[in-house]
Amino acid sequence: MTSYLITGCSRGLGLELTKLLAGLSSVGTVFATARSKTPTLDSVINSSNGRVHFVPLDVTNDKSVSSAVSAVTSRLEGAGLDVLINNAGIQILEPNGATKMHALEETLEVNVIAVHRVSSAFLPLLEKGKLKKLLVVTSELGSMTNKDYSALAPFPSYKISKAAVNMLTVQYAMELKPKGFTVFCVSPGWLKTDLGGPAADLEPAVGAKEVLRILDNATPEDSGKFKQIYVEGSKVYHGGEIEW
């Protein structure tokens, strides 16, 4: 039975991932983390037959991360953690462009530094796990090759943070692949979440299903890759690799 830990589960993609995993017989334990529980997440937990456990986690706070590691370690009772999904993130509107952006420091703290903080803290548990999978949820807006495609999106700090977390993931992959880890990025698509907005392309469940499909099929040979979801008939969501 596989164990998962997901950051940012109170809403959006993290919540959808939690819902899907809660319904899979192959899943043993899902650690759904967030700063606080929402009623929707609480409902998922209560209907999971003990499969989903809430762990308080503020990814920007060292003490909170340390407490979360202790809680998960205790619950696993000597076993390792199989899968870590770094999903928590923020996107702040900055309509006046890159030269007048105001949220760069805050965005880097949540979208990049916190990914390193959480990943490094849970690494000892992942080393003991059976699958050793570390997934970073990123965005195609972080692709420098495709910068013209996303030029009109008024989120310069977000774009910069996603380019940075992509490289962070590559650095982790280079170091951990020889140890049997699978470390990679996935862009879940433009989803109709609080972050993506109502004009987005896809329902959150579509992105969540694809993220889990890619995660399930991933092997150490996928380490360091930047993957796109697949949506039938779409030229954007082609299911291949995204250029950096």
Residues catalogued as catalytic: 139, 158, 162
CA 151/CA 153 separation, integer angstroms: 6
Nearest CA to 89 among 3, 13, 147, 5? 13
Structure token pair of residue 235: 């030229």
Nearest CA to 134 among 85, 75, 98, 203? 85
CA 51/CA 119 separation, integer angstroms: 22
Structure token pair of residue 98: 């890159």
CA 151/CA 70 separation, integer angstroms: 43
Reported for 33-37, long-range contacts at CB under 8 A and 24+ positions apart, including other chains, are 33/5, 33/6, 33/7, 33/8, 33/9, 33/57, 33/68, 34/7, 34/8, 34/9, 34/10, 34/88, 35/10, 36/10, 37/10
Structure token pair of residue 215: 């995660």
